[in-house]
Amino acid sequence: MQISEINYVNFRNLKDNNLKFSSKFNLFLGKNGQGKTSILEAVYFSATGKSFRTPRQNEIINHSRERTGSFVVFEDSISKKTLSVKLGKGKKEYSYNKKRVKYDDFHGKLNIVSFIPEDISLLTGAPGVRRSFFDYEISQANKEYYQDLKNYTKLLKFRNKYLKEKKHNDPMFDIYQNEFIKFGARIIKKRLDYVRNISILLNLNYRKLFDDKKELRLKYSCFLGELKKVETAQIEKLIQEKINQVFWQEKRYGFSLVGPQKDDFIFLLNDKEAKSYASQGEKKSIVFSIKLSEIDMIIKEKKESPIFIIDDISSYFDSLRKESIIKYFKKRDIQLFISSTTDLNMASKNFYIEKGDIYEEYDQCKKDNRGSRDQK
């Protein structure tokens, strides 16, 4: 997939603009605080309707405006398409090929993977950070998972409500619980399959790019304990057994104590938990490798390569790691959007950013010696 063009208005500090992209490398160069992350965020927002740096969506609207919007033209293996998102006054509107659609019909049309320095929390943060990340990523590759997760979240809410209100003898409780078990088992099964597949890619990518002497694995830590080659029906049985064991406590506390909402994903470097064992540099490399593996998973499932966004590459990686990343992407057919304070010396379409104003290399030549050129 490739984004050929973007239009945005009132997006953070960016001056309203229309930009045409290269199908390969797009590099955004500028000093700190000029808008490099914001332009990458605008691209991500157009594709997903979300920001990669904040869950508080109103933050992306320019301070002096009430609405923002962005529009992208992209191509997949079949045809040219468009997506747009408008946000303002607490409302969000999605369009696909210029027709208003619900989020469910917008989500997953344009696959995109982002890497920002804050992603280190994937390793160092709480289990919820990893769950949200993997849930989103599995959904990108597998639409069924997204629906299962939506259903499960609803059923968990119902189950908790009935437990809280001590209505566990209500016949509806059993109906909800059966569905809760069914969808819970489907989620666990899909997570198990995903982790098994991505773990192989993760190790390959890590060794290829960063350290061929170490083994990196991802493990799914499920509330049911170690699960090997189980089918969904068996998982359902195991969940039921677990519920039987803790039901007296659930009634007492008034909420669900079991379910995939309790699970975690563990990164193991040479069989030791990377969260506490790996060095800072290794942690960064692990997070980058999981993003590359996500790309590979999307290609495997969808037969299309997603777009990849890398924010602040110059300050995040040392020159050796940077070189190895650039070398890696030269050989791959993936459209890249990268921000950096220094030039990366790769054949790319360069955009210069100054106080939210973005101009291309060509336009830059026409400018009389001001701007970001001296940063190279």
Ligand X SMILES: Nc1ncnc2c1ncn2[C@@H]1O[C@H](COP(=O)(O)OP(=O)(O)OP(=O)(O)O)[C@@H](O)[C@H]1O
The residues of the shown chain that bind ligand X, judged by CB under 6 A, are 12-13, 30, 32-38, 59, 61-63, 312
Q: What are phi and psi of 214, to 5 degrees?
A: -115, 155
Question: Which CB atom, from 33 or from 128, has the smaller least distance to ligand X?
Answer: 33
The nearest distance, CB 125 to ligand X, in angstroms, is 20
Question: Which CB atom, from 59 or from 165, has the smaller least distance to ligand X?
Answer: 59
Q: Which run of H or of E encompasses 209?
A: helix 171-209
Give the Cα separation of 309 and 6 in Å (integer): 15
Q: Are 365 and 372 in contact (CB under 8 A)?
A: no
Question: Which CB atom, from 12 or from 291, has the smaller least distance to ligand X?
Answer: 12
Question: Which CB atom, from 53 or from 190, has the smaller least distance to ligand X?
Answer: 53
- CA 192-194-199 angle, to 5 degrees, is 95
Q: Which run of H or of E encompasses 96?
A: strand 91-96
The nearest distance, CB 153 to ligand X, in angstroms, is 30
Q: Are 19 and 83 in contact (CB under 8 A)?
A: no
From the annotation, which residues make up the binding site? 30-37
Name the one residue in this structure whose structure tokens are 């996500």: 294
Q: Are 162 and 168 in contact (CB under 8 A)?
A: yes
Question: Which CB atom, from 119 or from 282, has the smaller least distance to ligand X?
Answer: 119
How would you class 368 by CB atoms within 10 Å of its CB: exposed for 0-12, middle for 13-18, buried for 19 or more? exposed
The nearest distance, CB 138 to ligand X, in angstroms, is 29
The nearest distance, CB 11 to ligand X, in angstroms, is 8
Name the one residue in this structure whose structure tokens are 């997903």: 48
From the annotation, which residues make up the binding site for ATP? 30-37
The nearest distance, CB 312 to ligand X, in angstroms, is 6
Tell me the two tokens of residue 76: 């997949």
